[in-house]
Structures are given as C-alpha cells and as structure tokens.
Chains A and B, each alone.
Chain A
Amino acid sequence: MITANGIHFCLKNRPILEEIDVSISSGELAVVLGPNGAGKSTLLKLLTGEQVCSNGKITINGEAIESLKTNELAKYRAVMPQHSVVNFPFSVEEIVGLGALSHDKQTRSSQLLEEVMKLTQVEAFRHRMINELSGGERQRVHLARVLLQIWEDKPFPRYLFLDEPTSSMDIAQQHLVLSIVQQLKKRNIGVFAILHDLNLAAQYADKILLMKEGNIRYSGSVQETMQEEKLTEIYGHPISVLPHPSIENALLISSEALVNNKQYISFKTA
C-alpha cells in the first residue's frame, strides 16, 4: 500500500497542495479528477518520489519514500508521464525494452517484453521507429514500457502511475488502455491515474478523488463522488449525471445551456 499523510507542498511560498491524505492499495484503480491547476500532477510527482514534500509522510509498502534509492523505487512503481518526446531514432521494441532497466535478472525480461507488447497491441509495429508513429500509438508504446518495469510477479505489490494516459487517443484506444489497466489489478498492482474524461472514470474507477485548489474535496466510490453538485463545484461548470440508457452506469454530460438552469444558479448563489 502507498500511504500519504498530511502532505503539503509549496512552490515559491505559494501552497500547491495542502494537508492531503491519500492511500492506494494493490488491486485498486484510483482516479484523480479535477480542473487544471488543482494540483493533480504535483500530487503524482510527490507520490512517485520525483519531488519531495515539505511536510507529511509518504510510505510505499511500509517504507518511507525518501529512504528508497532510485533503483529500489523503480521496482515498486512505474510512471507514465503526460508527454514523452524521443528525439533519436529508437525502435518501438527498444523503447519498450528500456522498461527492463531496473530488472535484476535480464534473462526473463525478453519473455516479459513479449507479454506486455501483446497486451498493449504494439507488437504489430515493434520494428518501426517511434518518431514515425501516431500520438495514440506512441502512448501505447510508453504504456508497454512502464508495464514491463513492474510486470514480473513479485512477493510485494507494485504500483502504476498514469498522468492522462489517454490524452492523444481515440475513444476505442481509450477503452483499450483502461481495460488493460483493469487487468493489472489481479497482478497485485495498484493504479493511480489522472484522467480528464469523467465517463471513463465513472466506468472503470474503484475510487475517485476530486481535487480542487490543492485539496482533495471529496473521495470515495463512483456512486459517492460522481454527483451533480460535487462535480459542478469541483469544475465550476454545470455537469449533469444521468443514468446510462443501456448499462448500469452513470452518464456525465455538460452543456452551456445548463448555465441558465435555475437549479444551477441557486447552487451557485448558495
């Protein structure tokens, strides 16, 4: 389990994150939602050890994050950033293979490589150069790379951090990625993802964290968090929650027309 207690982060004396408590368990998909500038990426950077928090304590599998060396940390968690630009002609397979950098035994790595490439459906273009691919294909290649890093079964849980993993993808690719992420749960992996698409979050998440202005305003299950008032407050924009016509799921829509809705105005002035 990853736990963060009372973490606080300032940039030039301006607080970016205030008193945040959060936990990620293995086999769980935790999704963070919130407007731009809410501190989502900063929270991810603190939880992955890329930045150090000014106050509070973060532990991974019981160990304090600052006590772990870079290569030890890499065995516990993998991170897929929003954009990764590769300026040199590397092949898809070479990029994915970099995920094995922290593996102890390189012998098993080639078999694991085949598995993740198959899962992410990048094997068809494994020999192509990364800079020749479309944005969505590239994101899948990087997904394969970060999966390879934590793919091997270990006696301890591993974690995957995704910062808007579906930003350059069409709707089919988005669902492909989220369904891959769901399969990780049974491999003793916990997932922490920042998403922009409310419907994707509602359909796949086990836990949702709604962030605004450096705080987690609401957290809980999809039912508990995906409510009109909470979402409207978080985004400062009218959002309606409707029942999905064919599956048992919430459908989230937003429209400028709703701004004139009486209910919203009354909420806003309340």
Chain B
Amino acid sequence: MLLSLNYHTVRSKRPLILGICFVLLLASALLALLTGAYPISLSEVVNIILSKFGLNLIEVPDEKMAVLWTIRLPRVLLAILVGGALAVAGASLQGLFRNPLVEPAIIGVSSGSALFAVIMIVFSGTIGWQLQSIMGVFALPFAAFIGGLLNTFLAYRLASKGGKTDISILILAGVAINALSAALISLVIYYGDDNAIRNFTFWSLGSLGGASWTKLYIAGTLVLLSSVIIMSFPRSLNALAIGESEAFHMGVNVQKVKYVVLFFSALAVGAGVSVTGAIGFVGLVVPHLVRMVLGSDHHTLLPVSFLTGGILLLVSDVLSRIIVAPAELSIGIITAILGAPFFIYILMNFKQKRITV
C-alpha cells in the first residue's frame, strides 16, 4: 500500500482529512465551472457568484452570467451531490453485504431506478399521472426509488442466507437483474416518443447534461437527506463488518440498520438516477480507494467517500466535456473506463488473498 495511514492518525486527524477533501472538492468544482465551450475566467466566476449575494464588484456580460448560473453551476452541484450519494450508497451497501465488491450499478439498484424512471416518463399519461397528482415533482424520483429498492431486495434475497451473502451469487444476480432491467428499459422506450424520453444511452450511461435548478432542488434534497441519514450509522456498520450475529450480540439492532441502509441507499441512488441516469462504478471505486488510504472505520469512510465521490464525478464530467469537445460524452463512459479496470484489480486481489466469503 503506497499511501496508507495509521488508523490512529486517521482518528485524531479526522477534521483535517475532511478539510483537505473539502478543499479538493472546491478546487474540482472551480475547474468544472471554468471548463466549457464558452470561456469564462476565474474572476468572472467569482464575480457572478458574489453578485447573487448582492456584491457587484465588476460587471459581467449577461450571457456569461446565464451560462454560468443556469447551466454550469447547477450541473456542478448536481455532480457533487450525485457523486457523493453514489459513493456513500456504495460504501454502506458494501458494509451491509460485508463485501467490497458490492456497488449500486453492479447489483442492479441503478438499473432498477432507471427502469422505473423510464416507465414513469413514458406512461405519464396513465399511472404516472395519478402518482404525479399526489406527489408532484417528487413522483419521478419516487418511482426511481421504488425501482432501486425492488432490485436491491431482489439481489439481497437471491444471494443471502442466514445473514451471510454469497458474493458470486450476488454478482451473478446483478448480471441477471441488470440484463432484465436493460431489456425492459429498451422495451418501454419503444412506447415513448422523442419528447417524452431522451434515449437509452442517457439511462444506461448517465449524463449531467440536463441539470437545472429545479432538478437540483428535488433530487438534491432527497440525495442529501439520504446520505446524511446513512452517515449517522457508522458504529453499527463497523459492527456489521464482523458479522450480523456478532453485531447483534454487541447490541446493534441489526434489522433496523439493514432496512435503514437498504432504504436510504435506494433512495439516494434512485433520486440521483432520476435526474442523471445510471452512472456506474463511482460507488465501487471511491469507498475502496478511501479504505486503502484511511482504513475501514465508517466514521471516516462515509463522509470522506461522499466528498471524494463528488470530486470523482466532477472530474469525470470535465473529462466528458473536453475529450470530444464541442460534443459531449456520456459520463458513464468515463466512470466505466476508470472503474472497470479497478473492479478487475479488486477481483484479482480477492483471488490472491483467497478470501472466502
């Protein structure tokens, strides 16, 4: 391990570590705000943001103002929240399944969310309309949440017996669930018109292109809320790392923690997917990297994963916008190029250590 810190240092320096991650997050956010077809300088970015708080130092052209405020800033904030939520969901699901290979996209949470979001949009005239009349703008993220929850439970039921999860069955269950969800998404899209639905690529590979303040308010609130709730169970998740019955013996209400984590990680992923599509591998790569450097204590792992997830998605978004500029890549292409080799690396490590799960 190149850069692993003693867990003692980690515990005593937690505020410093979080501070460093936060600064890195701000730096990546700034980079993302500066990148794009339309050039906006650093001082202009600062001035536009300050002007929204009533501080007009220098005049910035209205066009630049519009590009930054209505397009880039919500996109950046959405990247932070969705990236953070995917990473926290990944970290907590890994803790719950007691396995570092679990990831929302791999076990099918994301594709379930995408499927239900697509159904909601395409059939908005029938089922969707009723849901929308009750839940308003929250109908779409709610549908995505139900889809994600359904697939999470399905994967869990298929792979778990007596509190132990068989990881090979879990991964295979994920393959089957993902294949079925993808097929159903394509099928549902046949019934939709071009206005109702963007395309299959959006749902399967994700994009931050559609970010707006409205979407940010709706999905962002749900995503942030779920992440914060998951982050409030670090001790129980630590205990679960030893085993479900061990955690029970140590005084943890295992059933409650299990349901809270499953529920809110599905909500976080579902709300995220409903506005960005299914973005893979963030929930796998980020917690694993954090564990390599800072250890497995969920007190540190969860908040650092949130910040690092935000950084990873911001950087991936910048890459997706400059590689084929002026066109744009789906962000999932970048995260998969980074994440899939990483997944193979973890698998090889697993094989080497002969960890039986």
Which residues of A are at the interface with B, using a C-beta cutoff of 8 A? 48, 50, 70-71, 73-75, 77-79, 81, 84-91, 93-95, 98-99, 101-102, 127, 131, 142, 145-146, 149
Complex interface bits, B81-110 against A, C-beta within 8 A gives 1, otherwise 0: 000000000000001001110000000000
Cβ-defined contact, A90 with B6, below 8 A:
no
Residues of chain B within 8 A (CB-CB) of A88 are 95, 98, 100, 241, 291, 296
Q: Are A70 and B248 in contact (CB under 8 A)?
A: yes
B positions within 8 Å CB-CB of A: 6-8, 95, 98-100, 235, 238-239, 241-243, 245-246, 248-254, 291, 295-297, 353, 355-357
Sorted nearest first, the 4 A-B pairs with minimum C-beta distance are A74-B251, A102-B251, A88-B296, A71-B251
**Does B250 contact A86, Cβ atoms closer than 8 Å?**
no
User: B301 to nearest A CB, angstroms?
Assistant: 9
Contacts A70-B251, A84-B246, A102-B251: A89 and B239 contacting too (C-beta < 8 A)?
Answer: no
- Check if B239 sits within 8 Å of A98, measured CB to CB: yes
Cα distance, A193 to B218, chains bound together (Å)? 55
Partner of B296, one of A73, A89, A101, A102: A89
Residue in chain B with minimal CB distance to A74: B251
Decide: A101 and B248 in contact? CB cutoff 8 A: no
Report B139 CB to chain A, min CB distance, Å: 37
| Identity of the chain B residue whose Cβ is nearest the Cβ of A83 in the assembled complex | B243
In angstroms, Cα B249 to Cα A71, docked, is 8
Q: Which B residues touch A91, using CB under 8 A? A: 7, 295
> How many angstroms from the CA of A95 to the CA of B248 in the assembled complex?
15
Smallest Cβ distance from B289 to chain A, in angstroms? 13
With a cutoff of 8 Å between Cβ atoms, the chain B residues found around residue A79 in the complex are 245-246, 249
Beta-carbon nearest neighbor of A78 in chain B: B249
Q: Which of B100, B250, B291, B295 has the most CB of A within 10 A?
A: B250
The residue of chain A having its C-beta at the shortest distance from the C-beta of B296 within the complex is A88
Query: In chain B, what residue has the closest Cβ to A75?
Result: B251
Contact B246 A81, beta carbon cutoff 8 Å: yes
Given contacts A70-B253, A101-B251, A101-B252, are A87 and B246 in contact (CB under 8 A)? no
Residues from chain A with a CB closer than 8 A to the CB of B238 are 90, 94, 98
29 residue pairs bridging A and B, Cβ less than 8 Å apart? A70-B252, A70-B253, A71-B251, A71-B253, A73-B251, A74-B249, A78-B250, A81-B245, A84-B243, A84-B246, A86-B242, A87-B355, A87-B357, A88-B100, A89-B291, A89-B295, A90-B238, A90-B241, A91-B295, A93-B7, A94-B295, A98-B238, A98-B239, A101-B235, A101-B252, A142-B242, A145-B242, A146-B249, A149-B251
| Min distance, Cβ A153 to any Cβ of chain B, angstroms | 18
Chain A residues near B252 (CB, 8 Å)?
70-71, 101
Cα-based distance from A81 to B245 in the complex (angstroms): 8
